[in-house]
């Protein structure tokens, strides 16, 4: 039964990670106001969730608090990744979310004993390791795409500059200014 929960957990994290990577890559960097609002909303939600946990006792309370922290971490990290909109920020968000989800899974394992608990903890660790490895691979892929885009832009600039060399005087100056503006030089 625990395996199903961990598999669901891993799928949920992977789904969030994929959505974060693809949506963040397609958008420009977010604005500071939206980032601050999301963080404030996450803190308020955490405070409310934590108060609900106060009525519980034992490991149920520990699980509840870990889930509240994970929810807050997920909101904060996704907001920061969207705001910064860099491969490094997205990888950090995935890493932090995976760590938070791992802590929740470990708390759930505390209800078990012996080998069953050991297996539960190993499955939780494996799920976290998988998400982190996927995040690392995604970051490297994103960096490679960014490098390729830079190389293409540089090559296109060189072509445009070469075309400008055929001109002279003000026409050449205007052509070079236009090429620099177009290709960010």
Does 106 have pLDDT greater than 90?
yes
Sorting pLDDT into bands at 50, 70 and 90, what band is 64? very high
| pLDDT reported for residue 26 | 37
Sequence-separated contacts (24+) of 28-37 with Cβ below 8 Å: 28/85, 29/83, 29/84, 29/85, 30/79, 30/82, 30/83, 30/85, 31/83, 32/83, 34/79, 34/83, 35/79, 35/80, 35/82, 35/83
User: What are the domain boundaries of the chain?
Assistant: 2-142, 149-183
Ramachandran class of 31: left when φ > 0, alpha when ψ lies in -120 to 50, beta otherwise: beta
- Choice between 27 and 130, residue whose per-residue pLDDT is larger: 130
| pLDDT reported for residue 24 | 40
pTM listed for this prediction? 0.59
Does 90 have pLDDT greater than 70?
yes
Q: What is the tens place of the pLDDT at every residue in 22-43?
A: 444 334 456 788 889 999 999 9
**DSSP assignment string, 79-97:** HHHHHH-SHHHHHHHHHHH
Instruction: Calculate the CA 16 to chain-centre distance.
Output: 8
């Amino acid at each position: 039964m625990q395996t199903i929960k961990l598999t669901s957990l891993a799928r949920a994290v992977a789904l969030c990670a994929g959505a974060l990577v693809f949506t963040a890559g397609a958008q420009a960097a977010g604005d500071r106001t939206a980032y601050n609002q999301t963080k404030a909303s996450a803190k308020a939600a955490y405070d409310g969730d934590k108060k609900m946990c106060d009525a519980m006792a034992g490991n149920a309370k520990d699980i509840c608090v870990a889930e509240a922290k994970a929810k807050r971490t997920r909101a904060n990290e996704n907001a920061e990744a969207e705001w910064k909109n860099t491969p490094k920020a997205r990888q950090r968000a995935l890493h932090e979310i995976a760590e938070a989800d791992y802590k929740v899974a470990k708390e759930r394992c505390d209800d078990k004993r012996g080998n069953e608990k050991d297996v539960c903890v190993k499955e939780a660790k494996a799920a976290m390791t998988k998400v982190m490895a996927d995040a690392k691979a995604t970051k490297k892929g994103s960096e490679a795409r960014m490098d390729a885009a830079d190389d293409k832009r540089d090559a296109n600039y060189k072509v445009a500059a070469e075309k400008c060399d055929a001109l002279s005087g003000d026409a050449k100056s205007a052509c070079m200014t236009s090429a620099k503006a177009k290709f960010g030089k």
